[in-house]
Chains A and B, each alone.
Chain A
Amino acid sequence: MTIPVSAADWIVINTELILVGTAMIVLLLDAFNRRISDRISPWITLVGVVGGLVSLGFLWGQEYTGFAGMLVIDSFSVLVKMAILFGTGLAVLLSVDYLRREELAQGEYYGLLLLSTVGMLLLTSSANLIMIFLSLEMLSIALYVLTGYARMRPRSQEAGMKYFLLGSFSAAILVYGVALIYGALGTVDLAGVAEALTAPGILSNPVLLAGAGLVLVGLGFKVAAVPFQMWTPDVYEGAPSPVTAFMSVSTKAAAFAALTRVLVFAFSDLSGVWMAVIWAIAALTMIFGNLVAIAQNNIKRMLAYSSIAHAGYILVAVASANQLGIQSIPFYLIAYTFMNIGAWAVVTVITRKGEEGVGLSDYTGLFWRNPLLAVSMGLFMFSLAGIPPTAGFTAKIYLFMAAVNANLIGLLIVAVVTTIISAYFYLRVTVIMFMHRPSEVSAVHVPIAAYVAIIIAVVATLWLFLFPNSTQAFTEAVWRMGL
């Protein structure tokens, strides 16, 4: 018997195949020669990630459906995949010296990082609830291990445990929801779901509504939306910093891609119901994330709440569910990838062995210790707060315009007010870095790889502000394939 895999199928998964192949090389190399692997596995990983980006370049502007409709390649998924791969690549640059500093094994780390990335890429393309569940589990299971990767450090262990328990819990809820949707509609294919929803009377079916609600809860855990955010601060604080950097951007990107695909493309006929729910979740997430972030004195926890808040902003785009909204999601995700990984890169560099030195006080007078680091951190804080001249500003403008177009004035007001509130705690970091000159100045040692990551993030953050048009062609294509 031959396995029927067509040419289109291979094209659809070529990015994933490149990364899986890289992961195999890294894992096998580690098994055969640990010394060589410790030295070169990060660079092999980077080559794989760049290869993945190149393959995405070839896919740009094309549309493919593979594996009987289970995976789709369109502009939306290609852009989100780019965001994910940027996140992975920058996280690798941060990890090289971090792993050495913390005396952690290298080989398995990159293998798991790559396989988790593959799960995210698959999730971005998934157009079938089975594939959504499987790829969500793929990325999560690898992340559970990475979160607890510093296995001698109790906080990392605890973070791994909490992430695992709540992650599996949310996965179980998601599966139950999918089962109910399957029962109500007789299909798990997103295209089939969209078609089945056009049948008369189906929209008030309680089984369907219960199923869709449970799926929303399951995905809500992954994007860390309120009220499913309780794991986020602990996990982000306890996990190794580069892992946190990776999961705060790439997981979010993949989960939002899936959420958008499920809600806007498959369940669009049900939008009367989910719109109100997303509205409320978005508002709560923005308010909660920004308000609690103010009270944080630990930079990792502050960034964790900031990441919750940003999930709320992206949910505004999902709620508006119009052309601009769908376009602004990939743009926001890419901008967020650079600014947030940039901020985490600085945090990774500042922290000392054993994840010490994560208080805001450790940033006092950073400008006098390392001006470049302080200026970059200031830029990332500006960007996260949505202040020009940064990518964060442009991304927020797109979002607000989408909300205006969709007539979500109430939500827009919440978004604007919380953005203003958020400026307080982002700018506080900047003030601490620049205003207080420390009595004794000790230089900060920055590894070269981390410098490269920070500089890439700075350039991208500025570039997306100065030339948003360079991505406009991309985001417009997203809409053409969209609805």
Chain B
Amino acid sequence: MIAELVIFIILGIVAVSSAFAVILSKNPVYAVLFLVINFFALAMLYLVLSAQFVAFIQILVYAGAIMVLFLFVVMLLNLTGAIESLQDKLPAQRWLAPALGMVLLVEIAVVFLSGFFAQVPEASELPEGFGTSAPVGMLLFSRYVLPFEVTSAVLLIAMVGSIVLAKRRP
């Protein structure tokens, strides 16, 4: 399956390079747009992993709702001009952070290279309908009914909370 490998490589490169761009771009509007690209690439990866429902939620909720919210706030506050970049006031942190990040990356790479996942069987035969909305829905309303309800409570908190914090001042 050369085609799948090629698709994966392209998506992986897009995802990682857009993440780089998010971190490095000085203009927050660009950063938000790169993040949208990143989320789209991840959604495609989820499709390759036969997680259709998650992929569409990723596009609808993440790329759609959350990033529009980000963009809206960035534009509303008119942050485009006045924002700093990588310069900051703590020189030690400036050198420490990349070092720490690299250490972590190397560590994770070592972990993954250690061969543990070589033993894990590759996805050969996924069950019929794996990751489509029907089984996801069945699980959400049976085994995962409690997390589902808790999530609804969290969304209520978010709604009440953001109104409390951001409503017009007296």
Contacts and interface: CB of A to CB of B under 8 A. Distances in A.
B157 A3 contact: no
B147 interface: yes
A3 B141 contact: yes
A112 B157 contact: yes
B103 to A, nearest CB: 13
Contact of A141 (B142, B144, B161): B161
A407 B111 CA distance: 33
Point out which of B111, B157, B158 has the most chain A C-beta atoms below 10 A from its C-beta.
B157
B143 A68 contact: yes
B153 interface: yes
Contacts of A66: 146
Nearest to B140: A3
Interface in A163-212: 183-184, 205-207, 210
A139 to B, nearest CB: 9
A105 interface: yes
Interface string A145-176: 10011011000000010000000000000000
Nearest to B151: A134
A5 B141 CA distance: 10
Interface string B105-145: 00110111010110000000000000000000000011111
Contacts of A184: 116
Contacts of A134: 147, 150-151, 154
A184 B163 CA distance: 41
Contact of A207 (B116, B150, B156): B116
A137 interface: yes
Interface in B154-170: 154, 156-158, 160-165, 169
A138 B160 contact: no
Contact of B154 (A9, A105, A138, A207): A138
Given A206-B110, A207-B116, A141 B158 contact: yes
A20 B154 CA distance: 12
A278 interface: no
B157 A142 contact: yes
Point out which of B117, B144, B161 has the most chain A C-beta atoms below 10 A from its C-beta.
B161
Point out which of A67, A116, A160 has the most chain B C-beta atoms below 10 A from its C-beta.
A67
B164 A108 contact: yes
A254 to B, nearest CB: 14
A289 interface: no
Given A142-B161, A151-B165, A3 B111 contact: no
Contacts of A5: 145
B154 A141 contact: yes
B160 A108 contact: yes
Interface of A: 1, 3-5, 9, 13, 20, 27, 66-68, 70-71, 105, 108, 111-112, 115-116, 118, 122, 130-131, 134-135, 137-138, 141-142, 144-145, 148-149, 151-152, 160, 183-184, 205-207, 210
